[in-house]
Amino acid sequence: MAENEIVTDEKGQELKKISIIMIASMVILLLVFSAVNYVVVKNLVKSIEVTVPSDEEVADEGDEDEIEKGIIVDLGDFILNLCDENQRKYLKVNVAIEVSKKDTDFPKEEAAPAKGGHGHGEEAPAPAVDPLVAIKAEMDQFKPAIRDAVITNLSSKTSAELSTAAGKELAKEQITNDINSILGGEREVLRVSFGQFIIQ
């Protein structure tokens, strides 16, 4: 029995030594890892340059993100035959386009000239023209051609094509291209919108 106790004590002492060595090596590895991590992070922080954008750069970025707003032109309602082969389908749709503004559309108000002493020889100021009325008159000259482009485009589609969101977006894109070619660069179509869209 004494021999068994001696063997057990020797094994127990060896296990203690091994576990002490393992714990010591883990602590050493942890310290080495922490030191390497500290050095790497410290060097990374030094190498990163922080730049603060100026107010002008921030203003420029804001302009790019801003969605351009235009002038809405309602083209009215359309009732069209669709291009379905098996059965006759109709489309009732309201179409509006949003066209770009020109710099001359909304002139800045100029300061009123100072009045003379007695009011003799002064001309009456010209009545202000509503810019929207002028734009509507400009777009009215293109309206028949624009309506024709919308009719031609939509009547060439089938009800299956126009029933999907992708089909509607494709039709809007094609209408935009057609109208832009009609306007000839005077204005640009920013968006095409369908108000009412019924297929029967």
The SS3 of residue 73 is strand
Q: What does the pLDDT look like over 147-172, one tens digit per residue? A: 999 999 999 999 888 999 999 999 99
Q: Is 71-104+129-199 a domain of CATH 3.90.180.10? A: no
Q: How far apart are the first and last CA of the chain?
A: 102
- What's the full length of the chain, in residues? 200
Q: What is the pTM of this model?
A: 0.56
Q: What does the pLDDT look like over 31-77, one tens digit per residue? A: 998 888 888 777 766 655 555 555 555 555 555 556 668 888 888 89
